[in-house]
Amino acid sequence: MPKSESDALKKQLEFLLELDRLKLIVRQSHLANGARRENSAEHSWHLAMFALALSSHADVKVDVARVIQLLLLHDIVEIDAGDAPIHAANGSKADLAAAEQRAAERIFGLLPSDQAAEFRSIWLEFEAGQSPEARFAKALDRLQPLLLNVAVGGGTWSENGVGVTQVIERYGPAIAGGSTMLWEAARKLVEQHFSKAPSGG
């Protein structure tokens, strides 16, 4: 193997070992059976499966492989920056964005330069949320924790005293931005949950 290929492989393996740390980042969402909270690696895998199963419901035709790339890469920065729960009021958005930018530079920087640039570009595409694939990926990123909260009888909504109006405002735009059909289905689940739940979720 030429030295350049050997060096590239060494960097790729180092990057992949670094990603193992994503399994240590505990998110707020509980598993559907309520046994424990999910980690960020599990979340990313689950979202990739959401893309495979639900891509036909996107408002416009999307490249499913691209959506999966976006979803597998979007939370890698949490290795350094941590998870930012949707219902928490921890720190400013500007501080979080800066921390995530630094994380992206460090973690993707472990790769050979051309691959680092490619992966960082995919991550930035998700963050921008402008392409059809990114809008659909963001829709799934909101849909998955919504479904988990419904499955466990409230989950992070109950823990944070979040009501139906807040859920609709915080989840609705992102989900509807990628799939009107998925938001209609999700909104029904939310309304059914809160119609049965005690006051406060």
* pLDDT tens string 107-165: 999 999 999 999 999 999 999 999 999 999 999 999 999 999 999 999 999 999 999 99
* Whether the Cβ atoms of residue 175 and residue 182 lie closer than 8 Å to each other: yes
Within a domain: 137: yes
The CATH number given to whatever domain includes residue 98 is 1.10.3210.10
Domain total for the chain?
A: 1
Q: What is the mean pLDDT of residues 98-106?
A: 96
Question: Which range marks the domain in which residue 78 is found?
Answer: 3-196
Residue 171 resides in a domain: yes
In this structure, is residue 42 part of a structural domain? yes
Residue 103 lies in a domain: yes
201 occurs within a structural domain: no
Beta strand residue intervals within the chain, DSSP E: 26-30, 37-39
In angstroms, the Cα distances linking 178 to 96, 128, 183 are 24, 14, 9
The answer as to whether 54 is a domain residue is yes
What pLDDT sits at residue 14?
98
